[in-house]
């Protein structure tokens, strides 16, 4: 493995994505940006004129045309910057696109409120006409939202408070990312290193328990010293959520948040209950972890250590791709051929280069093929990352290919299903291939940690969010002590078998997601749906694969729960979460049987 990071021009073209498939030159992008401005000026003329079907249809078609071009410009600009953040041309282009995006958002701001004012029965009748068929779901959404939209003057007032409403989140981000300074931690080589958020994750995976404990204690020492300030920011964020829900005539902040996806509160409650019913599997996993680590007792800082350190096995990118194809063979020849065609024709940016954005993601604009950014480093984890991002890319590819623009985008609620299903299929394949105990335990540990951190941990977060919002809605207050007490008690239930140091009571203070309320539950439901769908496909259930491929092609043409039902998973019952956690139990039994 070459430790020297190359300049971008030193990497072979076959390992770079082909942005030329979107735009051949910066001049072409700028032409489209100028076209967006022209279309926005045209769109302004529809203000106050949305009073008949022909004008409304014209406005919808013009908005789609403008949206597609804006999305294409934005996607290209951020990818061009991500491939090399030091490129001044790319920086300038992205700044220009962001400025245009502000103008674009302002221009369209009148559109939905004006449609909301119309007689909904008339709008519904338009939706029955063939020329409006691509807009039926959009029209249905207007009707569903109507009772929660205020008068024009009230909406303007609410909108003007937008920046203030976001203050708790922005204050926390500045405090957490800029102002909080942690001390130093001495690593395994006896070197003092400054503790940062990124290094904390690395320290938690250290083979040295002394290093893990020192990092853990230092991190929470600093958060504890700011507990009054952070309790105020989180408390005010929760109050804002509750106030906004009340103003928009929802029964609770939870109901208001779930409304966007047309998800009932019972889905959220059933997730928590199903996890409670299957908490024994987590406790058994904790005991298994303690035994493998040969520790008399387990502390919270022992939970992230890999039970098997990264295998010495290295994968070339080509080997990783071939391994992924084998793992995804259950999805059928058409899926594999479409994916192969993409990977061989400029979808993927494979290796790290100087200035390249870290991590991995998949993105795409309607009318262009999807793209995948990787920083491939030849490990088993990188093979899983490739499969994960390929899942996102194929979901985008099929949805864009089969849906009109207005219905092509799938919601966040569904976003992790395709990616996680691919990882499940790959794990199943690799476990069937390996005969080496160390490799088998590595794979199982990787998978078990996915369940622990995505289903159990995110559900615990979701339960905490529910508790703190209910406390405010019932007239209570959120003090540092009450937040710590609630959070500590949850950990006591979820992590039975772990020695709970006092520090864990402060973990709520460092979770950014709590400022984007009732979001994290989607990780747990998405993961559970993916496991259920993967199990159906692997069992050879007739039609399971066809239903799943139809799901990938559905974009956002219906509400997420309805699309999942058609795929074969009903998230309105506890069954998928129960099945997911039973699968966790089965994988745990497999791990227990591996010699270690």
Please state, in angstroms and rounded to a whole number, the distance separating the CA atoms of residues 489 and 485: 6
Q: At what angle do helices 412-433 and 317-327 cross, to 10 degrees?
A: 100
Instruction: Give 348's DSSP letter.
Output: E
Please state, in angstroms and rounded to a whole number, the distance separating the CA atoms of residues 75 and 371: 10
Please state, in angstroms and rounded to a whole number, the distance separating the CA atoms of residues 244 and 363: 32
Name the H helices within 248-366.
253-259, 265-277, 279-292, 317-327, 333-343
Of the candidates 292, 289, 277, 281, the one whose C-alpha atom is nearest the C-alpha of residue 585 is 281
Please state, in angstroms and rounded to a whole number, the distance separating the CA atoms of residues 313 and 452: 25
What 3-state class would DSSP assign to 56? helix
Please provide the distance, in angstroms rounded to a whole number, between the alpha carbons at the two ends of the chain: 28
Please state, in angstroms and rounded to a whole number, the distance separating the CA atoms of residues 18 and 179: 40
Catalytic residue among 297, 333, 389, 507: 389
* Residue 314 CB burial class (10 angstroms; 0-12, 13-18, ≥19): middle
- Do the beta carbons of residue 442 and residue 431 sit within 8 Å? no
Please state, in angstroms and rounded to a whole number, the distance separating the CA atoms of residues 102 and 63: 15
CB contact burial 256-280 (16+ within 10 A = b; e otherwise): bbbbebbbeeebbebbbebbeebbe
Please state, in angstroms and rounded to a whole number, the distance separating the CA atoms of residues 544 and 549: 9
Ramachandran angles phi, psi of 47, nearest 5°:
-60, 125
Please state, in angstroms and rounded to a whole number, the distance separating the CA atoms of residues 201 and 195: 10
Greatest Cα pair distance in the chain: 74
Please state, in angstroms and rounded to a whole number, the distance separating the CA atoms of residues 587 and 298: 21
Please state, in angstroms and rounded to a whole number, the distance separating the CA atoms of residues 358 and 569: 34
389 is catalytic: yes
Name the H helices within 84-161.
88-108, 111-117, 120-127, 136-145, 152-160
Of the candidates 449, 456, 395, the one whose C-alpha atom is nearest the C-alpha of residue 422 is 395
Q: At what angle do helices 317-327 and 333-343 cross, to 10 degrees?
A: 160
Which residues are designated catalytic? 389
């Amino acid at each position: 493995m070459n430790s020297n990071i190359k300049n971008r021009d030193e990497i072979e073209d076959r390992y770079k994505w082909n942005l030329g498939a979107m735009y051949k030159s910066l001049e072409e992008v700028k032409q489209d940006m100028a076209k967006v401005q022209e279309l926005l000026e045209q769109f302004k003329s529809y203000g106050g004129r949305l009073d008949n079907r022909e004008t409304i249809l014209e406005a919808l078609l013009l908005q789609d045309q403008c949206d597609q071009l804006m999305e294409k410009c934005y996607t290209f600009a951020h990818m061009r910057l991500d491939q090399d953040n030091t490129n001044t041309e790319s920086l300038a282009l992205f700044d220009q696109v962001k400025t245009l995006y502000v103008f674009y958002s302002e221009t369209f701001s009148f559109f939905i409120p004006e449609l909301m004012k119309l007689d909904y029965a008339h709008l519904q009748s338009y939706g029955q006409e063939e020329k409006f068929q691509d807009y039926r779901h959009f029209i249905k959404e207007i009707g569903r939202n109507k009772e929660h939209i205020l008068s024009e003057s009230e909406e303007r007032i609410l909108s003007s408070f937008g920046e203030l409403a976001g203050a708790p989140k922005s204050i926390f981000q500045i405090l957490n990312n800029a102002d909080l300074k942690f001390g130093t931690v001495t690593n395994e080589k006896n070197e003092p290193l400054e503790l940062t958020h990124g290094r904390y994750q690395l320290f938690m995976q250290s083979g040295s328990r002394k290093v893990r404990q020192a990092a853990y204690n230092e991190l929470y020492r600093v958060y504890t010293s700011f507990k009054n300030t952070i309790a105020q920011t989180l408390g005010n964020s929760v109050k804002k959520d509750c106030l906004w829900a009340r103003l928009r005539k929802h029964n609770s902040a939870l109901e208001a948040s779930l409304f966007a996806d047309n998800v009932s509160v019972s889905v959220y409650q059933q997730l928590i209950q199903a996890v409670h019913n299957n908490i024994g599997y987590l406790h058994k996993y904790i005991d298994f972890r303690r035994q493998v680590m040969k520790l008399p007792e387990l502390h919270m800082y022992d939970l992230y250590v890999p039970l098997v350190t990264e295998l010495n096995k290295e994968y070339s990118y080509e080997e990783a791709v071939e391994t992924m194809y084998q793992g995804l063979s259950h999805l059928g020849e058409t899926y594999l051929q479409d994916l192969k065609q993409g990977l061989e024709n400029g979808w993927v940016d494979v290796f790290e280069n100087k200035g390249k954005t870290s991590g991995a993601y998949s993105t795409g604009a309607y009318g262009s093929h999807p793209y995948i950014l990787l920083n491939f480093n030849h490990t088993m984890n990188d093979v899983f990352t490739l499969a994960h991002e390929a899942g996102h890319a194929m979901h985008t590819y099929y949805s864009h290919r089969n849906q009109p623009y207005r219905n092509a985008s799938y919601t966040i609620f569904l976003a992790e299903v395709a990616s996680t299903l691919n990882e499940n299929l790959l794990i199943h394949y690799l476990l069937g291939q390996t005969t080496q105990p160390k490799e088998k335990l590595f794979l199982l540990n990787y998978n078990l940690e996915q369940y622990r951190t995505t289903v159990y941990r995110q559900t615990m977060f979701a339960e905490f969010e529910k508790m703190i919002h209910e406390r405010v809605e019932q007239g209570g207050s959120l003090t540092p002590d009450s937040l710590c007490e609630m959070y500590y008690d949850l950990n006591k239930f979820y992590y039975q078998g772990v020695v709970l140091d006092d520090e864990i009571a402060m973990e709520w203070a460092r979770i950014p997601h709590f400022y984007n309320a009732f979001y994290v539950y989607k990780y747990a439901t998405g993961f559970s749906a993916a496991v259920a769908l993967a199990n159906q496909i692997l069992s050879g259930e007739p039609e399971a694969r066809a239903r799943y491929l139809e799901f990938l092609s559905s974009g956002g043409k219906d509400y997420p729960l309805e699309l999942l039902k058609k795929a074969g998973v009903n998230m309105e019952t506890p069954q998928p979460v129960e099945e997911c956690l039973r699968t966790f139990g089965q994988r745990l039994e497999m791990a227990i049987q591996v010699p270690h």
